[in-house]
Structure formats: C-alpha cells, structure tokens
C-alpha cells in the first residue's frame, strides 16, 4: 500500500555533504569552530529515507534528509540543528504492518536517543500511524495521512553537561554491596506532601536534594536511593480514557532524557537543558550526602503499547528491528505491556548499552535496577546467562563499575529466572519476599486461628532459616550471600502497613473493577479488614510490622526498604497504585506517635546492621570455594541445644535462635531470637565457646528489658516477636 505524503511546512535543506559517522546514535553537536550544526544518526534499517525536522517557534519545519546509510543507520550533518533546537524525525518507506514495516512520514517521530524532551502526547487520532476514528480504533492495514506535528513531543538537542555539573572523580560514594541499604522511592511520591520542603519544590527532582529529605535518608541510614523510572515517559491510552495517568512511569518514551514532569516549574519553563541540570544537581547533592543513586530502568518495552497503539518513535523508525516478533513474524509480547524490545537484535543491545553509559557518564548514576530483566537477556532461543548484554555489564569499562540489579522475570515462556543471572548482576529475591511474609503473616494467622502451622514442604522454620541465611537454595553460594536483594515490599503490591491490615486488595480507584493487581499478597489483616480502633488489633499489626522489618534488615543479603514503610504509609489497600498520582500514593509526613515510634525502630535496625559488621555479609568470603567457608550461622532451638534434622522438620516448632558468628574475624557476634508462636516462652540462650554473655540490643515488642544474660540462662521472649542481642 502506498505511503501517504505529508505536507511541507518549511524548506527542505539540501542533503548534507559533511562526513559523519553512523555512531553514536542520536544527535552530536559540533562546536561553532567546526561550523556548528549537528551530526545525526538514526537506526531505520528498513526505511527508504529519513528526514531530520528542526521545528521553529512557529511550528514550521526545516527538513534535512540524511544522505548516508550504513548497516541500517542513516546519518548525516544537519546545519540548522543547534543547542536547544527542537526536532523530530520523519521516515519514509513501506507500509506493511504484518512484516513490521510501519513507515509513515506524516508522523513526526521522537528520537529515542534525545537528551531532552519537550511537550506531551495528545490523545488524538493524529498520533496513530494507522487510520483510526474518534474512538482511537481502526484498521492497521490503512496508513493515516494526518500530520501528528503539534500533538507529539519533540526532542531537544543538547550538548555535553555544563562544566560545573560534570561528574568529578571521587564524587560517587562507591558503597560496597556489603554496606548497601537500598531505599526504593518515587520522585514525586516521596516529596509531594513533605511539609519542610518549599511548596514550589515538592514532588520534583530538586526536592530530593532539599536538606529535610537528605536528613531523613541519612538519619534512616540508607546508602542508596533507588528511583522509580525517571526516563521521559507518557501514559497508556486506556488510562487516559479513564482520566488517569501512569504515575509510576514504567512506560518509556525517551531513554536518555529525564522526565520533564518531575522538574520544578521554573526548570520546565527554562527548557530541557534546565530540566537536565536540575536532575544532575540532585544526583550530586545526594552524592554529597553519601547516598548513591540507582535508577529503575525500563528497556523491556516502550510506551507505544500493542500493534494498535500510538505511533511515536520506535514503531515508525524500525518496528521490524526494535520489537520482538515470533517465528511467524507476529508481534510477541513477553512483558504484558503490549510490546517487547527484541534483545536478540544486536542493534537493540547497542541501544540499551549506549543509554546506560549515558546515565553513568553524564549524570553520575551509580547503578540500575532492570525492570523485567529476563526480556533483556532473551536471545533467539530464549533466556541465556551468556547474553551479550549481560557480558557487557561485566566487561564494559563504564558499566562494569556500577551496581546492577535484576528483576529476574518476565511473563514470557520460562520467564522466571531468579538465581540464574551471572555476576555482576544482583537479583530481587521474590522467594525471600514470599517466604518471610508466609512465616510472619499467613502461617501465623493459621496458628492464631488454632489451625496449627502448615505442614508443607520447606515451610516454617526451614524456610525462614533459608531466607535469613541468604537463600542458598536459589543463588550460587560461591558468589556469596550478597547476590540476593532482599525485600518484603516494593512499589508493586501492598505497602508494609497494608500488608498487616488487609487480606484482600482494594483497587477500585483504578477503574478496572478491582481486577487488576495481584490476588495474593500473602497478607494478614489480624482480624479486621482495613482501619480499626481496636487496640489489640493495632498492637498485633505493629508487632508484625516490626518482625518483618527485623527479618529484612538482619538477614544475609542486601536489604531494600520501600519509601514510607518506615512511617507506616498506607495506600488504603490498593496493591497496584501505578495510576494513582494523588494522596493514595504520596507519602504522608504528618505522623502520629505510633508512626514516629516505627521510624525510630527502623533507624535502630539499620543502625544495628551498620554497628555490627558481621550482619553485613555474615562472614562469607566471596570468591572462595564453599569448602573453605566456615559455618558462620549457628542454629539453636528454644532449649539452647542445636537444631537437628527432626527439629527442622517439626512443623509445629515456631521458636528459633541464630548466632551470626564473628569470632574468627575478631568481630562481635549477634544473636537473633525468634518466637513465631502464640505463647510467651522462656528460651535458653545457647552455649557457644567464647560467647559468654549477650547484651540486649532490640526487640519488636514494647517489653525491652536491657539486662544482659549469660549463655545458658533463660530469656523470656514474648509471643510473635524478635529479639536481638550481641556480645558487645
């Protein structure tokens, strides 16, 4: 079918004659001394022509056809493209959607490598490459001839970061994994309601650098701030129809530009360069406070959704290369988001690696958490630990020195890959999340209701101990226990307060009939669904909250806290608040007394991890063969005797003691006593050579006697509680 022509709003520049290169992709500005303008390279391997359109303030376009194409990359020099210029791309070629050819020069496309973005997506028929009606539904076979200019975002040409903001040697904290405590947060959600942040800064990048926010993070003791996506993004069609937005930002529009919506009004008014500088300044301020910055990045899919979605960038440039298709040539979605990038294509791997390097080199980013990373490690035969992208993370001179964390699954065939990623990738441990929740919540509910502890394989104390010890059943023990990034909650699912307050999700505000979100959050409402004034229920919930936090922060591995959990933040039982850019998702800093107490306890637990180095890596000598590692976790029953096979397999047993042993390194040892039963018990402290006395350091219950106890003495441990003692 013929491609529709587009109107010409401005002059078409002659084909450039200057020598350019097909790499790097995107816009590279030339100094005025070299004649100015910019070299542009665009991957469009199946196109017949590519035009760069510089858009003036009046909306008129000056177009330059890129003259050269090498290995699918069109490139050339564009004289009129300068610092601050707004630009888009128009691509000519065949229209054959069944073969992944969606070239339509009527659509002004965003450069996926743009360093700045201006404007938003208007939800109108013009932004679709195929013909649609007012309901935005139509026929993929018919290309749409209406011009999308004025309804889509534009790229903004930006040069290198200004000299005073460039990343300096020694600026980054470089916190070792053993001392890392991650704090997952949303730029807007964390700061929008903070009373000590000036109103004009709330909800912005600049707010993260405000002294009140820095003080909270440093006093809490976290070492790394993991930000939900800050890549420029937009909202899905189905959300826009319901008057909602994609608050979380897992819907990437441009991969090298910070999202303008998180910048202050002043920065947005000043333009893309000011937005970029605001975010870079925030990263530098966090570094100055000793806090690393990790970005949650979404390279697995884009905002263009399924085949009937909008025509904004990659779809019009080179859908056949960028998007995953099955053996029959049909779109193949392994993300559940409508499309998936094809990491079996070398150009897609290059695209992602270039973007990652950009964030490290230009902004000083310290690491990345990869959303649905299994998609990024799929080759032609599916997931492979030898995937080129994973190899590059080990060997690339820029990326090998930063942190990498996988969300180790996607929704495609054989997508769950927890424990299968090679170094240097660390992994979100969903087995930790599920096992710890079961132990303290759903199993505890069964015990409290008189049903007895579940007698399922691997449950009870065995699973608790396995998770506490670093999940050796999941991760390669030769890498050490720090491979596991432990978490009890994350942005996706119940908050910690809701985990102990709701048995069922309450997602009605999302407008999907409460069908969205997980149907099983392994939660326990402690007898009442949602808010209550019952003091016994509230006490039980607060005790369970502390038990979960203690397990998270004392276990082997790298702990990750979710923003607001230390404050008892609730989302009213919404376990999928991705579309709630309002008080449901924003952290409320107006704290009741019980919330201040919870914050104090969380600070104490993080401080314990710092005070006692033996908790940071549990003595594992990383890189040594297993046979050379001594047994540094010692397990005991309530009578002070060691755990036996029979005791481990006794489903009714709910008391456990573990000594995290630091003797051979000259470190203080820590004793953690767990009573997950319904009765208070006297527990005999274990006798271990060289460990004569234990000093109380923390308890999840209000009864916090500070008397030291000798090995072999009984210690009264309340029901449903954790106690922490140490030898010094």
Rounded Cα distance between 179 and 615, Å, is 9
Average pLDDT for residues 606-621, to the nearest whole number?
Answer: 82
- Is the Cβ–Cβ distance between 307 and 124 less than 8 Å? no
Whether 371 is a known active-site residue: answer: yes
Average pLDDT for residues 290-315, to the nearest whole number?
Answer: 98
Which residue among the candidates 407, 410, 632, 638 is catalytic per the annotation? 407
Which residue among the candidates 278, 345, 366, 371 is catalytic per the annotation? 371
Mind giving me the DSSP string for 70-113?
ETTEEEEEETT--TT-EEEEEEE--EEGGGTEE--TTS-BPPTT
Average pLDDT for residues 672-690, to the nearest whole number?
Answer: 96
Decide which of 479 and 576 is more confident. 576
Q: How confident is the model at residue 458 (pLDDT cuts 50, 70, 90)?
A: low
- Is the Cβ–Cβ distance between 64 and 17 less than 8 Å? no
Mind giving me the DSSP string for 692-720?
-EEEEEEESSS------EETT-EEEE-SS
The reported pLDDT for the residue numbered 704 is 59
- Is the Cβ–Cβ distance between 484 and 474 less than 8 Å? yes
**pLDDT over 70 for what percent of the chain?**
95
Q: How confident is the model at residue 456 (pLDDT cuts 50, 70, 90)?
A: low
Map residue 487 onto helix, strand or coil: coil
The reported pLDDT for the residue numbered 130 is 98
The reported pLDDT for the residue numbered 404 is 98
Angle, helices 535-554/430-437, rounded to nearest 10 degrees? 150
Tokens of 335: 């993300």
- Is the Cβ–Cβ distance between 262 and 185 less than 8 Å? no
**pLDDT over 90 for what percent of the chain?**
89
Length of the chain measured in residues: 728
**Beta bridge pairs of residue 258:** 231
Residue that has been written with the tokens 């006593």 in this structure: 673
DSSP structural state of residue 510? G
- Is the Cβ–Cβ distance between 300 and 233 less than 8 Å? no
Tokens of 653: 């047993």
Whether 366 is a known active-site residue: answer: no
The reported pLDDT for the residue numbered 1 is 41
Q: How many CA atoms lie within 13 Å of 164's alpha carbon, on the beta-carbon side?
A: 3
- Biggest CA-to-CA distance, the chain: 89
Average pLDDT for residues 345-356, to the nearest whole number?
Answer: 98
- What's phi and psi for 13, nearest 5 deg? -70, 155
Tell whether the torsion through CA atoms of 614, 617, 618 and 620 is positive or negative: negative
pLDDT in tens, 270-291: 999 999 999 999 999 999 999 9
Least confident of 1-10, 157-166, 220-229, 392-401: 1-10
Scored b (16 or more CB within 10 A) or e, 386-414 reads: ebbbbebbeebeebeebbbbbbbbbebee
The reported pLDDT for the residue numbered 453 is 65
Mind giving me the DSSP string for 17-30?
-S---S-SSEEEEP
pLDDT in tens, 558-595: 999 999 999 999 999 999 999 999 999 999 999 999 99
**∠ at Cα 687 (685, 691), nearest 5°?**
100
Average pLDDT for residues 254-260, to the nearest whole number?
Answer: 98
* In the predicted structure, residue 9 carries a pLDDT above the cut 60: no
The reported pLDDT for the residue numbered 2 is 39
- Is the Cβ–Cβ distance between 428 and 405 less than 8 Å? yes
Average pLDDT for residues 290-298, to the nearest whole number?
Answer: 98
pLDDT in tens, 15-36: 545 789 999 999 999 998 788 9
The reported pLDDT for the residue numbered 39 is 97
The reported pLDDT for the residue numbered 455 is 61
Q: CA-CA distances (angstroms) from residue 247 to 571, 578, 716, 718?
A: 14, 5, 47, 42
pLDDT in tens, 499-519: 999 999 999 999 999 999 999
**Beta bridge pairs of residue 118:** 154
Map residue 721 onto helix, strand or coil: strand
Q: Mean pLDDT over all residues of the chain?
A: 94
Average pLDDT for residues 402-424, to the nearest whole number?
Answer: 97
* Beta-sheet strands, E only, within 547-606: 558-562
Average pLDDT for residues 182-191, to the nearest whole number?
Answer: 98
Average pLDDT for residues 225-242, to the nearest whole number?
Answer: 97
pLDDT in tens, 313-341: 999 999 999 999 998 899 999 999 999 99
């Amino acid at each position: 079918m013929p491609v529709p022509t587009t109107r010409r709003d401005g002059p078409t520049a002659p084909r450039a004659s200057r020598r350019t290169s097909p790499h790097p992709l995107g816009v590279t500005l030339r100094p005025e001394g070299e004649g100015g303008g910019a070299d542009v390279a665009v991957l469009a391997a199946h196109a017949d022509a590519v035009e760069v359109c510089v858009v003036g303030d009046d909306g008129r376009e000056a177009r330059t056809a890129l003259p050269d194409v090498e290995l699918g990359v069109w490139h050339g020099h564009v004289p009129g493209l300068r610092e601050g210029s707004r630009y888009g791309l128009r691509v000519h070629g065949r229209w054959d959607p069944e073969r992944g050819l969606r070239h339509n020069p009527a659509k002004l496309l965003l450069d996926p490598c743009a360093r700045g973005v201006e404007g938003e997506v208007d939800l109108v028929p013009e932004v679709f490459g195929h013909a649609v009606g007012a309901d935005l539904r139509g026929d993929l076979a018919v290309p749409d001839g209406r011009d999308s200019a004025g309804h889509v975002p534009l790229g903004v040409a930006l040069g290198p970061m200004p000299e005073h903001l460039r990343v300096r040697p020694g600026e980054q904290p470089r916190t070792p994994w053993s001392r890392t405590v991650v704090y997952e947060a949303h730029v807007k959600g964390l700061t929008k309601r903070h009373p000590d942040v000036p109103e004009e800064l709330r909800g912005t990048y600049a707010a993260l650098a405000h002294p009140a926010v820095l003080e909270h993070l440093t006093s809490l003791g976290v070492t790394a701030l993991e930000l939900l996506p800050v890549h420029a993004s937009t909202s899905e069609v189905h959300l826009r129809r319901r008057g909602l937005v994609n608050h979380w930002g897992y819907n990437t529009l441009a991969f090298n530009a910070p999202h303008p919506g998180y910048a202050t009004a002043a920065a947005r008014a000043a333009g893309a360069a000011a937005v970029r500088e605001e975010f870079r300044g925030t990263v530098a301020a966090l570094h100055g406070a000793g806090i690393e910055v990790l970005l949650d990045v979404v390279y697995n899919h884009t905002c263009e959704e399924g085949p009937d979605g909008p025509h904004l960038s990659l779809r019009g440039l080179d859908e056949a290369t960028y998007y995953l298709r099955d053996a029959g040539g049909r779109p193949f979605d392994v993300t559940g988001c409508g499309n998936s990038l094809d990491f079996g294509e070398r150009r897609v791997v290059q695209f992602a690696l270039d973007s990652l390097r950009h964030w490290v080199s230009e902004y000083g980013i310290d690491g990345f958490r990869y959303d649905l990373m299994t998609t990024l490690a799929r080759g032609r035969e599916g997931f492979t630990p030898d995937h080129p992208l994973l190899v590059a993370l080990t060997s690339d001179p820029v990326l090998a020195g930063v942190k990498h964390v996988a969300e180790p699954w996607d929704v495609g065939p054989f997508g769950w890959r927890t424990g299968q990623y090679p170094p240097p990738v660390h992994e979100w441990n969903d087995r930790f999340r599920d096992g710890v929740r079961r132990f303290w919540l759903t199993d505890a509910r069964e015990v409290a209701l008189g049903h007895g502890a579940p007698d399922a394989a691997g449950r009870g104390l065995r699973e608790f101990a396995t998770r506490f010890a670093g999940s050796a059943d999941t991760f390669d023990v030769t890498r050490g226990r720090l491979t596991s990034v432990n978490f009890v909650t994350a942005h996706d699912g119940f908050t910690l307060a809701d985990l102990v307050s709701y048995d069922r999700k309450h997602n009605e505000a999302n407008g999907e009939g409460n069908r969205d979100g997980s149907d099983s959050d392994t939660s326990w409402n402690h007898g009442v669904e949602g808010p209550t004034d019952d003091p016994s229920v509230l006490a039980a919930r607060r005790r369970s909250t502390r038990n979960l936090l203690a397990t998270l922060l004392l276990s082997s591995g790298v702990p990750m806290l979710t923003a607001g959990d230390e404050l008892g933040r609730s989302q009213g039982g919404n376990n999928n608040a991705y579309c709630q850019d309002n008080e449901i998702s924003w952290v409320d800093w107006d704290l009741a007394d019980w919330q201040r107490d919870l914050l104090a306890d969380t600070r104490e637990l993080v401080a314990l991890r710092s005070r006692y180095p033996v908790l940071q890596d549990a003595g594992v000598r990383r890189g040594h063969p297993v046979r050379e590692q001594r047994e540094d976790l010692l397990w005991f029953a309530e009578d002070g005797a060691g755990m036996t096979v029979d005791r481990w397999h006794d489903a009714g047993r709910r008391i456990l003691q573990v000594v995290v042993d630091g003797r051979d390194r000259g470190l203080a040892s820590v004793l953690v006593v767990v009573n997950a039963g319904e009765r208070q018990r006297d527990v005999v402290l274990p006798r271990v050579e060289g460990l004569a006395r234990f000093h109380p350091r923390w308890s999840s219950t209000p009864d916090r006697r500070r008397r030291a106890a000798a090995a072999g003495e009984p210690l009264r441990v309340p029901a449903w509680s954790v106690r922490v003692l140490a030898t010094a």
